[in-house]
Amino acid sequence: MRNILLFLLTLLLLTECCGNKPDVCPPDDPARAVNYNKTYPIVDSLLRVMTLDEMIGQLVLYTSDWDVTGPSIRDGYVDDIRAGKCGNIFNAYTADYTRKLQEIAVNETRLGIPLLFGYDVIHGFRTIFPINLGISASWDMPLIKESARVAAREAAAAGLHWTYSPMCDICVEPRWGRISEGAGEDAFLGSAVARAMVYGYQGEDLEDPLTIAACVKHFAAYGAPHAGRDYNTVDMSERWLREFYLPPYKAAVDAGAQTVMASFNEYDGIPATANSHLLTEILRHEWGFDGFVVSDYTGIMEMINHGTSRDLEDASIQALNAGNDMDMQSGGFSDFLKKAVEEGKVSRKTLEEAVRRVLTVKARLGLFQDPFRYCSAEREAAETKTGANLLTARTLAEESCVLLKNDNALPLAKGARIAVIGPLADSADDLLASWRGAGQVEGVKSILDGIRDYSDRIIYVRGCELDGDVKTGFGAAVTAARSAEAVIMVLGESCDWSGEAASRTSIRLPEIQTELLKAVAATGKPVTIVLMNGRPLDLSEESGMADAILEAWFPGTMGGEAVARLLFGDASPSGRLSVTFPRTLGQVPIYYYAKNTGRPYVHPGVKYESRYLDCENEPLYPFGYGLTYTTFSYGKPELSADNFGPKGSITAKATVTNTGSREGTEVVQLYLRDMVGSVTRPVKQLKGFERVTLAPGESRTVEFEITPELISFWRKDLTFGPEAGEFRLFIGPASDCQEYATFTYNE
One-letter amino acid at 549 equals: I
The half-sphere exposure of 475 on its side-chain side, counting CA atoms within 13 A, is 1
Length of the chain: 747
Q: What residues contact 63, with CB distance under 8 A and at least 6 apart?
A: 89, 90, 91, 329
Distance CA 219, CA 209 (A): 27
Radius of gyration, alpha carbons of the chain: 27
- Mean pLDDT over 527-554 rounds to 98
- Flag whether pLDDT at 2 surpasses 70: no
Distance CA 55, CA 341 (A): 11
Distance CA 309, CA 303 (A): 6
Domain ranges in the chain? 1-116+347-385, 391-587, 632-745
CATH code, residues 391-587: 3.40.50.1700
Q: What residues contact 228, with CB distance under 8 A and at least 6 apart?
A: 173, 174, 175, 176, 503, 504, 505, 588
Q: Characterize the bridge pairing of strands 259-262 and 292-294.
A: parallel
- Flag whether pLDDT at 19 surpasses 70: no
pTM of the full structure: 0.96
pLDDT digits (tens, 9 = 90+) for 65-104: 876 667 888 889 999 999 999 999 999 999 999 999 999 9
SS3 150: helix
In the CATH scheme, what architecture does the domain 632-745 have? Sandwich (2.60)
pLDDT digits (tens, 9 = 90+) for 410-463: 999 999 999 999 999 999 999 999 999 999 999 999 999 999 999 999 999 999
pLDDT digits (tens, 9 = 90+) for 273-319: 999 999 999 999 999 999 999 999 999 999 999 999 999 999 999 99
pLDDT digits (tens, 9 = 90+) for 311-321: 999 999 999 99
Task: Return the pLDDT at 75.
Answer: 85
Q: Where are the beta strands (DSSP E) in 617-716?
A: 632-634, 638-639, 643-644, 650-658, 664-674, 685-694, 699-706, 713-714
Task: Return the pLDDT at 605.
Answer: 86
In contact, 494 and 531? CB cutoff 8 Å: no
Q: Is 169 among the residues known to form the active site?
A: no
Distance CA 475, CA 491 (A): 17
Task: Return the pLDDT at 222.
Answer: 98
Distance CA 355, CA 333 (A): 12
Cis peptide bond upstream of 510, omega within 30 = no
In contact, 673 and 685? CB cutoff 8 Å: yes
Vertex 557: Cα angle to 554 and 563 (nearest 5): 60
Share of the chain above pLDDT 70, in %: 95
Q: Which residue intervals of 73-131 are DSSP H helices?
A: 75-82, 95-107
pLDDT digits (tens, 9 = 90+) for 43-57: 999 999 999 999 999
**Residue 375 phi, psi dihedral angles, 5° rounding:** -105, 70
Q: Report which DSSP code applies to 197.
A: H
| Active-site residue, from 296, 314, 327, 674 | 296
Of the pLDDT bands very low, low, confident and very high (cuts 50, 70, 90), residue 631 is very high
Q: What is the mean pLDDT of the chain?
A: 95
Task: Return the pLDDT at 331.
Answer: 96
- Flag whether pLDDT at 5 surpasses 90: no
Distance CA 451, CA 458 (A): 8
Q: Which long-range contacts (CB under 8 A, 24 or more apart) does 246-250 make?
A: 246/220, 246/282, 247/187, 247/188, 247/190, 247/191, 248/168, 248/169, 248/170, 248/183, 248/187, 248/190, 248/191, 248/193, 248/194, 249/168, 249/194, 249/216, 249/219, 249/220, 250/191, 250/287
- Flag whether pLDDT at 29 surpasses 60: no
Task: Return the pLDDT at 73.
Answer: 87
Task: Return the pLDDT at 26.
Answer: 41
